[in-house]
Structure 1
């Protein structure tokens, strides 16, 4: 074999090895690396598009969020901060003691607590007694004040036949108190303000129109049926009452079981309107000569 042929063969073998090594390097090293870079590029492109979409939507989302915050902060209701029965009991006790017109005596029995996504409900059974007016005002304040409560299953038991208990009622109801599970009202000021809806009537439907017993004269008012009319003017009358004391009365002034309703100067008489346990009577006194 000539020297030239041998060198040619060696050159071809060397070139083949170089080409094979280059192909192997590209195929087994660079191609997987390029594919990985392409995958990374695609992920970063998707991540960029997602963040770009979020950035483009931010002004609208922020406006919606600020509107929601404004609605929550401007609401006249708020939730209890936690599911604490003692906290709810103290709140009811505060309502009861806030005014003599809403004073009641009650028992509080915790039943259970349930949870939703953003809020929960504490249920309790409330039983007690008071006058009808105070009971209605107590319930009125529970439902209309700032902290959110719902009353269901309300029962009012009328008084017994005892004349001294005409105004009293026994009551029972289920109380549902709402509390927050996430801080959606963290910026809301819980003032604890109590609100009474004065448009709700406190008229007692259990109070009998005709009473079996006439109430006693505990305030020692003028008992007109045991008094004498001794003088009058166009605006007032002068009475010697049941105690022998001289008393002057104007039209509309209270007396025992009623009021002074009219003065007649011409006939020198005074007429009184009495309510004797639901039975109305007019009593007219003349000046004694």
Structure 2
């Protein structure tokens, strides 16, 4: 065999080995390495995304902590370790001392929770709306942790006798459940040394309006006190600062500030013999001027319609006692140990 043939065979063998090795590397080995590299790249990208998410979570948690820490340091409520039901009853009864026609209170039950316990009371009754509003305000804004739920309020129109005269009275008929909490984790309560919060930190203590009293009455109230009706009774004389009216033949002397039916005398002018009276006719305010010389009556509307001076505002409790379990309550004479009847439970 010639050298050329041998060299050709040798080159062919080397070529075959090179082709086979290249095929193995490109088709077998490199795909596995590429796949491993792709997986490693994916893992790096996932770790980078996870790290970015953790950074965002850390920033969000820092913001939440910055907001929560001042709230925690300024916490106002107190959760006593122990609480007597009789003390809660005494406290709620004290809050209803003014403006309540009836106030019925009974213990519904006691709940043992995982983080706190609470008594539940059923409260029903009748009261002036302003007095009921004051009761709810004190329950929700005292330093103890109380919760009012299932509140139901409806209008109740009744009659009362005063000095032999029957008067209409608009009350709020209400029912609610009150939860009194106690037994929370240690240090969850605000410190006893906490300063008293300013009035501006609380919601308004008085209701802006009475929803059970209309802005304008459909019918005017009766003249139960037999007052002078300046629209019907005649003006007889004006002497100095006194105006003399005739009511059913009976002379009545009035001066500035005197009450009349639906209003008051604003002024009495002897020089012009004129009497000015401000009336509130069921929410429509009017000024009536009576001229003795001519006998004429002049009317002028005053401002908007309002019954702000019409309804009787219920009395409210200004200085409430401290709630049981809060600073100052331990030595308060209100709280005594006594059991109260429980509400019968149905199976």
Q: Distance in 2 between matches of 1:126 and 1:116?
A: 22
Look up the SS of the partner of 2:290 in the other structure.
Answer: strand
Q: Distance in 2 between matches of 1:183 and 1:79?
A: 9
- Tell which deviates more after alignment, 157-166 or 143-152: 157-166
Match among 117, 120, 123 for residue 117 of structure 2: 120
Structure with the bigger percentage of helix: 1
1:102-129 deviation per Cα after TM superposition (whole angstroms, max 9, x unaligned): 5453211222222334422222221110
CA contact (8 A) 1:159 1:165 kept: no
Look up the SS of the partner of 1:158 in the other structure.
Answer: strand
Q: Distance in 2 between matches of 1:203 and 1:128?
A: 21
CA contact (8 A) 2:255 2:268 kept: no
CA contact (8 A) 1:108 1:124 kept: yes
Which residue does 2:344 correspond to in 1? none
Match among 238, 241, 250 for residue 242 of structure 2: 238
Gaps of 5+ in 2: 1-68, 160-165, 295-347
1:55-97 deviation per Cα after TM superposition (whole angstroms, max 9, x unaligned): xxxxxxxxxxxxx9x967x643223553433221111111112
1:88 and 2:88 equivalent?
yes
Q: Structure 2 length normalisation: TM-score?
A: 0.48
Within 5 Å, give how 1:30-69 maps onto structure 2.
Answer: none
Q: Which has the higher contact order (CA 8 A, sep 6+)?
A: 2
Which residue does 1:277 correspond to in 2? 282
1:168 and 2:171 equivalent?
yes
Larger Rg: 1
Which residue does 2:127 correspond to in 1? 130
Q: Give the count of matched residue pairs.
A: 213
Q: Distance in 2 between matches of 1:197 and 1:283?
A: 40
CA contact (8 A) 1:141 1:197 kept: no
- RMSD, aligned CA: 4.2
Gaps of 5+ in 1: 1-67
Which residue does 1:226 correspond to in 2? 233
Q: Distance in 1 between matches of 2:222 and 2:208?
A: 21
Shift of 1:239: 1.6
Q: Distance in 1 between matches of 2:143 and 2:101?
A: 20
1:142 and 2:139 equivalent?
yes
Q: Distance in 2 between matches of 1:164 and 1:211?
A: 17
1:204-255 deviation per Cα after TM superposition (whole angstroms, max 9, x unaligned): 222243244514444x76543436363378xxx42225563533205xx653
Q: Structure 1 length normalisation: TM-score?
A: 0.57
Which residue does 1:188 correspond to in 2? 192
Which residue does 1:255 correspond to in 2? 260
Q: Distance in 2 between matches of 1:204 and 1:283?
A: 28
CA contact (8 A) 1:80 1:148 kept: no
